[in-house]
């Protein structure tokens, strides 16, 4: 099965937050035997060049209203500096539909604030950069009792992560997509987390 992963791209996108993830999805180098690499499709509100926080320029493949998602797909929402602005309402509307239809949505850093502002974190376990900051900038947020002080949290088909946890974010997404064997995923995470050679040999073995 070839997973389609839709990556939302936006000006000021925190490109490093999805770097581990996109490299593994696109290459498929550690995937299960016979598993094709995932297809990454970049999406935005308009087909105009966006500039990431790192200065990279990306031309989106599709606009938000040009595609639909199926149960095996995933929507990745990276961080950025504009997530509380109205410009992101279309993608947040799509994220809400995905959550309702049990399609994987994974948000990190500022994107979790967008979900909170849209009321999508009020009744399910989640995390973000900081609870007090979330309360301060997202008036519609009332999900304090569900907040978990963890690098990343998976609740069904919704993954949320702190902006300083791109590795944990990637691990949660790869696990949810079920594209790496469990021992391979453990070795992959162990290698990048600890830099110990034993994990490299376990990963390559």
Catalytic residue among 30, 98, 109, 138: 109
> Which pairs with CB-CB distance under 8 Å and at least 24 residues apart come from 177-180?
177/3, 177/5, 177/38, 177/74, 177/104, 179/3, 179/25, 179/28, 179/31, 179/32, 179/35, 179/38, 180/24, 180/30, 180/31, 180/32
175-186 per-position pLDDT tens digit: 999 999 999 999
30-60 per-position pLDDT tens digit: 999 999 999 999 999 999 999 999 999 999 9
Give pLDDT, residue 68: 87
Give pLDDT, residue 205: 83
Is 138 one of the catalytic residues? no
């Amino acid at each position: 099965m070839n997973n389609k992963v839709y990556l939302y791209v936006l000006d000021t996108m925190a490109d490093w937050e999805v770097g581990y993830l996109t490299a593994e999805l696109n290459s498929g180098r550690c995937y299960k035997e016979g598993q094709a690499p995932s297809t990454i499709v970049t999406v935005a509100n308009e087909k105009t060049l966006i500039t990431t926080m790192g200065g990279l320029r990306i031309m989106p493949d599709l606009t938000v209203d040009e595609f639909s998602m199926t149960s095996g797909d995933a929507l990745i929402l990276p961080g950025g500096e504009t997530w509380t602005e109205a410009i992101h309402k279309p993608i947040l509307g799509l994220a809400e539909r995905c959550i309702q239809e049990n399609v994987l949505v994974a948000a990190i850093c500022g994107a979790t604030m967008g979900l909170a502002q849209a009321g999508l974190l009020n009744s399910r376990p989640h995390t973000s950069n900081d609870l007090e900051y979330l309360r301060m900038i997202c008036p519609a947020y009332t999900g304090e009792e569900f907040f978990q002080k963890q690098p990343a949290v998976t609740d069904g088909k919704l993954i949320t992560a702190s902006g300083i946890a791109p590795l944990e974010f990637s691990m949660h997404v790869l696990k949810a997509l079920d594209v790496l064997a469990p021992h391979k995923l453990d070795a992959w995470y162990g290698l990048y987390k600890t830099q110990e050679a034993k994990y490299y040999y376990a990963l390559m073995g």
